[in-house]
């Protein structure tokens, strides 16, 4: 039996996704860096530097946006993804405006970070078929919704990537315990489990949950069985897994991607290097 594994033969992965590019991201990134956790930050490049209050809290909370000049340094080691240029409800816009909101945000962010931006989070979590078509046309390979699954499955459609849960919601602790205890879950990839938590950093101010975030980071950090990845790294690794070419009898495999891929082959872990072709029936020692 052959099953895919995450890098270094791991079967679990944790990823975070935080929206809006608010100034509270500075503190959150510092916390992630302290515990060597990776996050994806979804930014509205048309709102850089704007100052506004956040609503829905019992005390004053800011929703101030970071400056464009700090994006590259602030999010170094993490991932920057788009959140559209101005954060509209995309399903109400014309096709041309949808395309502009996506493409202009992508272009602006790529000029700041110096790498191709491949991901997105839907503003307000809303989208329709036209939005999906425009994302594909613009080269966006994944996009996050706001629909909690409370499970750890790899997405069947990366452009409709449903997270595990929102940070701080009632079920989060129960979900975390299930993930860490390695309870069996009905996943698309059978063995692979992804804990995907999302939110907004200003909520940590409004709900006084910075201690809870640090407690979570400390709890999940430095575990040898977990791959700490950005959304984009998971998407790219999944592409690499899908690029594997097997012979008819499954005894030969060639990795046609630029990333190494790990497999479980008859109970043993095997690394298939980028561009490597391996006869599985001739392997005596698996790495």
Per-residue pLDDT of the chain (287 residues; tens, 9 = 90+): 899 999 999 999 999 999 999 999 999 999 999 999 999 999 999 999 999 999 999 999 999 999 999 999 999 999 999 999 999 999 999 999 999 999 999 999 999 999 999 999 999 999 999 999 999 999 999 999 999 999 999 999 999 999 999 999 999 999 999 999 864 544 444 579 999 999 999 999 999 999 999 999 999 999 999 999 999 999 999 999 999 999 999 999 999 999 999 999 988 899 999 999 999 987 654 44
Q: What DSSP string runs through 134-174?
A: HHHHTT--EEE-S---SS-PPPSSGGGB--SEETT-TTHHH
Give ∠ CA 191-119-168 in degrees, rounded to 5.
Answer: 65
Q: Report pTM.
A: 0.94
Tell me if residue 287 falls in helix, strand or coil.
Answer: coil
How many CB atoms within 10 Å of residue 208? 11
Sign, Cα dihedral of 196, 197, 199, 201: negative
- Phi/psi for 70 (5° steps) reads -100, -5
Using CA atoms, how far residue 49 sits from 67, 68, 100, in Å, is 5, 7, 21
């Amino acid at each position: 039996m052959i099953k895919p594994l995450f890098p270094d033969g791991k079967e679990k992965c944790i990823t975070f996704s935080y929206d809006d590019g608010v100034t509270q991201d500075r503190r959150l990134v510092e916390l992630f860096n302290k515990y060597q956790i990776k996050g994806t930050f979804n930014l509205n490049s048309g709102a850089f530097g704007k100052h506004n209050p956040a609503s829905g809290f019992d005390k004053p909370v800011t929703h101030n946006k970071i400056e464009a000049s700090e994006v590259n340094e602030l999010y170094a080691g993490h991932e920057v993804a788009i959140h559209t240029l101005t954060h509209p409800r995309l399903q109400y816009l014309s096709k041309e405006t949808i395309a502009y909101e996506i493409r202009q945000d992508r272009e602006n962010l790529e000029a700041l970070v110096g790498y191709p931006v491949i991901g997105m989070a839907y503003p307000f979590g809303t989208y329709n078929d036209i939005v999906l078509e425009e994302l594909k046309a613009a080269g966006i390979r994944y996009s996050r919704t706001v629909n909690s699954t409370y499970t750890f499955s790899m997405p069947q459609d990366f452009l409709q990537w449903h997270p595990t849960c929102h940070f701080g919601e009632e079920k989060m602790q129960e979900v975390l315990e299930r993930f860490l205890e390695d309870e069996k879950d009905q996943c698309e990839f059978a063995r692979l489990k992804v804990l995907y938590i999302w939110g907004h950093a200003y909520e940590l101010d409004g709900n006084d949950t910075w201690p809870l975030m640090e407690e979570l980071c400390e709890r999940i950090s430095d575990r040898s069985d977990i791959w700490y990845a950005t959304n984009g790294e998971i998407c790219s690794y999944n592409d690499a897994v899908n690029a594997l070419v097997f012979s008819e009898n499954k005894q030969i495999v060639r990795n046609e991607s630029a990333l190494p891929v790990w497999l479980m082959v008859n109970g043993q872990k095997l690394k298939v290097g980028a561009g490597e072709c391996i006869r599985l029936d001739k392997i005596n020692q698996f790495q």
